[in-house]
């Protein structure tokens, strides 16, 4: 058995973000699902979770210690937004590129199809998750969508949650995509690690709506320029105005304070070795 190797996390406002790539995440997921981690054969493989994190997630974690701990316990935290990418570059990861949730979801589905891995979808509205399933099967021939569940817009009861966990287990799920938005999806993944051994969970947020055709993605030039937030705000102002007008602008001065050394984050605070 070979142990998995990951890029060391770097602190961005107290959140450990991996200077990683699509290829590295794909390789790690393949290793984990195959069980090639060097763990004891007498113990079942533990669950893994990956957080695809934008400025919204970083600022939320800066304000909320409990959510920050959840991100720092994650096996991988990818830089989803361009400002997070730029921050990593300014801290030393000069060649860092974006690891974007919707693209990562398709790449992992393609790998799952090649490997014969079973995929489960958790999130979205009932009609959109059905369309997402159909679209993924069309985009990725051979992908095995073993099941899906659209949770209600309220906390699940203990019985409902137990039924959902049992559904995921019965489907022999190996790769679980969670699309219920930050910070809910990160909390859900962290809470369900103990009851889903061997499952690799990936929180991909808006990727569900994008691939289901319910929402439009920003043009590529806007994504590269770091203007995706503006496109999304114009597309859904009633829901997103608070995030992009009141929360996201905090990132730039806080990033500058860390760069100047006013804000400091010791390595032990960002989960560099959590779960490794």
**Average pLDDT of the chain to the nearest whole number:** 91
Contacts of 260 (CB under 8 A, 6+ apart): none
Quote the crossing angle between the two packed helices 251-259 and 82-90, to the nearest 10°. Answer: 10
d(CA 250, CA 168): 38
Q: What is the DSSP secondary-structure string of 45-111? A: PPPEEEEEE-HHHHHHHHH-HHHHHHHHHSSEEEE-SHHHHHHHHHTT-TT-----HHHHHHHHHHH
Sorting pLDDT into bands at 50, 70 and 90, what band is 42? low
Is the pLDDT score of 28 beyond 60? yes
- What's the whole-number mean pLDDT along residues 31-58? 85
d(CA 175, CA 198): 9
Is the pLDDT score of 274 beyond 80? no
Please report, for residues 14, 17, 70, 118, the alpha-carbon distance to residue 254 in angstroms, rounded to integers and kept in the order given: 11, 16, 21, 41
Tokens 């039924």 sit on residue: 163
* CA-based torsion, 120, 125, 126, 129: positive or negative: negative
For the chain, how many helices (H) and strands (E)?
A: 13, 8
* CA-based torsion, 214, 251, 98, 17: positive or negative: negative
163-205 pLDDT per residue, tens: 999 999 999 999 999 999 999 999 999 999 999 999 999 999 8
Asked if 148 and 122 count as a contact pair (C-beta separation under 8 A), the reply is: yes
Query: What is the reported pLDDT for 3?
Result: 62
138-166 pLDDT per residue, tens: 999 999 999 999 999 889 999 999 999 99
The least confident of 106-120, 159-173, 258-272 is 258-272
Query: What is the reported pLDDT for 272?
Result: 53
The reply to whether the predicted model has a pTM over 0.85 is: yes
Query: What is the reported pLDDT for 271?
Result: 61
197-244 pLDDT per residue, tens: 999 999 998 999 999 998 888 899 988 888 888 888 898 888 888 888
Query: What is the reported pLDDT for 6?
Result: 82
Q: What percentage of the chain has pLDDT greater than the value 70? A: 93
Query: What is the reported pLDDT for 243?
Result: 82
């Amino acid at each position: 058995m070979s142990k998995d190797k990951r890029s060391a996390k770097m602190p961005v406002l107290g959140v450990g973000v991996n200077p990683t790539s699509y290829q590295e995440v794909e390789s790690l997921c393949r290793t984990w699902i195959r069980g090639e981690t060097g763990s004891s054969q007498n113990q079942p493989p533990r669950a893994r979770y990956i957080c695809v994190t934008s400025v919204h997630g970083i600022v939320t974690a800066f304000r909320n210690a409990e959510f920050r701990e959840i991100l720092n316990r994650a096996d991988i935290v990818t830089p989803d937004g361009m400002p997070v990418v730029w921050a990593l570059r300014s801290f030393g990861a000069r060649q860092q590129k974006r690891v974007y949730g919707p693209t990562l979801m398709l790449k992992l589905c393609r790998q799952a199809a090649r490997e014969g891995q079973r995929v489960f979808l958790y999130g979205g509205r009932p009609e959109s998750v059905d369309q997402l399933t159909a679209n993924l099967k069309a985009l990725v021939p051979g992908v095995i969508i073993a099941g899906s569940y659209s949770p209600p817009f309220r906390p699940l009861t203990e019985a409902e949650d137990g039924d959902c966990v049992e559904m995921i287990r019965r489907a022999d799920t190996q790769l679980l995509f969670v699309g219920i938005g930050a910070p809910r999806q990160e909390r859900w993944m962290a809470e369900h690690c103990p009851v889903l051994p061997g499952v690799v969970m990936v929180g991909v947020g808006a990727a569900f709506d994008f691939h289901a055709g319910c929402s439009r993605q920003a043009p590529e030039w806007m994504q590269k320029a770091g203007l995706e937030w503006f496109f999304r705000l114009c597309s859904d102002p009633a829901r997103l105005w608070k995030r992009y007008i009141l929360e996201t602008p905090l990132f730039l001065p806080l990033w500058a304070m860390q760069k100047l050394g006013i804000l400091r984050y010791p390595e032990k605070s960002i989960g560099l070795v959590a779960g490794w």
